[in-house]
Amino acid sequence: MRKWFWGFLFIAFGFVCSIAAERNPRTERISGSAGDVLEDDPVGRLKVYVYELPSKYNKKILQKDSRCLSHMFAAEIYMHRFLLSSPVRTLNPEEADWFYTPIYATCDLTPTGLPLPFKSPRMVRSAIQLISSSWPYWNRSEGADHFFVVPHDFGACFHYQEEKAIERGILPILQRATLVQTFGQRNHVCLNEGSITIPPYAPPQKMQARQIPLDTPRSIFVYFRGLFYDVNNDPEGGYYARGARAAVWENFKNNPLFDISTEHPTTYYEDMQRAIFCLCPLGWAPWSPRLVEAVVFGCIPVIIADDIVLPFADAIPWEEIGVFVAEEDVPKLDTILTSIPPEVILRKQRLLANPSMKRAMLFPQPALPGDAFHQILNGLARKLPHQKSIYLKPGEKILNWTAGPVGDLKPW
């Protein structure tokens, strides 16, 4: 009698498994530890306390310029809004694992919409002075259990020119905190160990609105729209993108397989959905929203940026999804792309078609499970529990509050 029971259970289990496997025959789950991590739920694994800063650090800045809500650095604003209403938020700082300081440091925009980072160090400094004097939590670890969202070009180096950013380095008072930033490059001053790399903000509604039918055949081999030479700042070429974008143009402008140009068409999103490969070369900084757009539209990203650290690199296996091309191999780009075996290309497309991948790259409002906000929280949760060594003995000081250029020390 018992044998029949177990046999029946086994058959039923097998039946359920087969149904589950057939549900998505054409998208592939990223198997192994990396893939499952995308669907982790951070709720219950960590608690975040949001400091109440005066509105001059956040709301007033946003009121001055509402363009901050739609440019590619808008993640800092949306992260704040998400945390305010998220279940991981706690109002009791004693039980919090992580502390968040809502400063909109990237919201001082030029008339053309580019953020000026000159006042950001002073703003951050004054905010930290405020929280270290009003709450004891900063001083007990000198910020090691605090995290900041710094989505600017070179993260917390707070400059848009790479040489100056390297000179400045990460703001000294943020050295112990966890930085959530879009910039990621290995062995670079502006990327600390333990930082979380996030994708730049791309407006989800705009992208959803411009989807074309999935049976539209992909007929463009390689697609790229953007600058090759930055004529305003680097007319001869060689500085911008370390010469990689100019190399792409010079080598492939005559090649019909490469649909590349500087024009900005109205059908940009639609064209990406009709392309097999989308180039994501570096610009002045190695990251770009093109990666997000390529993943959302199912176009295989071709990443041309040496030593780049891609968003959520510990959760997303980028080597299996995208194609990495060294900057020195750009002249051979067509050979590289055509020598990829077709099965590999089809597999990459299946991995990209996975909806959890697309969701992980976006910042939707309101937040959805598995989106970029949750991936950030997952990243923070993976760093728990904090080591005992980060908590300083009373009176011990590690950070040098007066380090850095003199201009940064002025109050804000």
Partner 1 sequence: MKLSALHQSYINRRTNSFRSSGPLDSSSDSAIKSPAAIFWLVFHALCCLISLLLGYRFSRLVFFFLFSTSSTNFYTSPFRSTAELVKTLDVHSVLSNNPVANLDLPLLNKTVTNSRVVVGRHGIRIRPWPHPDPVEVMKAHRIIEIVQKEQRSQFGIKNPRTVIVVTPTYVRTFQALHLTGVMHSLMLVPYDLVWIVVEAGGVSNETASLIAKSGLKIIHVGFNQRMPNSWEERHKLESKMRLRALRIIREKKLDGIVMFADDSNMHSMELFDEIQNVKWFGAVSVGILTHSVNTDEMADRKKDEEENPRMPVQGPACNASDMLAGWHTFNTLPFAGKSAVYIDDRATVLPRKLEWSGFVLNSRLLWKDSSDKPKWIKDIDMLNGDIESPLGLVNDPSVVEPLGNCGRQVLLWWLRVEARADSKFPPKWIIDPPLEITVPSKRTPWPDAPPELPANEKPAMGMLDPIVKHSTKRTSRSKHRSKRKHEPKTDTQVSTRHSEQS
**103 or 260: whose CB is closer to partner 1?**
260
Q: Quick check: 14 binds partner 1 (CB under 8 A)?
A: no
Q: Quick check: 193 binds partner 1 (CB under 8 A)?
A: no
Query: Taking contact as CB under 8 A, which single stretch among the options 49-57, 69-77, 195-203, 235-243 is the one that binds partner 1?
Result: 235-243
* Shortest Cβ 252–partner 1 spacing (Å): 7
One-letter amino acid of 76: E
* Shortest Cβ 34–partner 1 spacing (Å): 25
Tell me the two tokens of residue 263: 């024009």
Q: DSSP letter for 395, please.
A: T
Contacting partner 1 within 23-52 (CB under 8 A): 26
The one among 61, 179, 246, 376 contacting partner 1 by CB under 8 A: 246
Considering only CA atoms, which of 298, 272, 273 is closest in space to residue 353? 298
Q: Quick check: 237 binds partner 1 (CB under 8 A)?
A: yes
Q: Quick check: 404 binds partner 1 (CB under 8 A)?
A: no
* Shortest Cβ 287–partner 1 spacing (Å): 14
**How many whole angstroms separate alpha carbon 27 and alpha carbon 355?**
8
Query: Taking contact as CB under 8 A, which single stretch among the options 231-239, 260-268, 371-379, 384-392 is the one that binds partner 1?
Result: 231-239
CA angle at residue 223 from 212 to 329, to 5 degrees?
A: 150
For residues 30 and 354, the answer to whether their CB atoms sit within 8 Å is: yes
Number of residues that bind partner 1 (CB under 8 A): 51
Beta-ladder partners of 356:
none
Contacting partner 1 within 279-308 (CB under 8 A): 306-307
Where in 153-306 does DSSP place strands (E)?
178-181, 196-197, 220-225, 258-261, 275-281, 300-304
For residues 177 and 144, the answer to whether their CB atoms sit within 8 Å is: yes
Site string for partner 1, 317-336 (x = CB under 8 A): -----------x-xxx-xx-
For residues 202 and 210, the answer to whether their CB atoms sit within 8 Å is: no
Helices (H), 230-289: 244-252, 268-272
* Shortest Cβ 242–partner 1 spacing (Å): 5
Residues 6+ apart with CB under 8 A from 16: none
Q: Quick check: 276 binds partner 1 (CB under 8 A)?
A: yes
Q: Quick check: 188 binds partner 1 (CB under 8 A)?
A: yes
Q: DSSP letter for 216, please.
A: S
Note the residues at the interface with partner 1 (CB under 8 A): 26, 162-163, 166-167, 169, 185-189, 213-215, 217-219, 221, 236-239, 242-243, 246-247, 250-257, 276, 306-307, 328, 330-332, 334-335, 337-340, 342, 345-346, 349
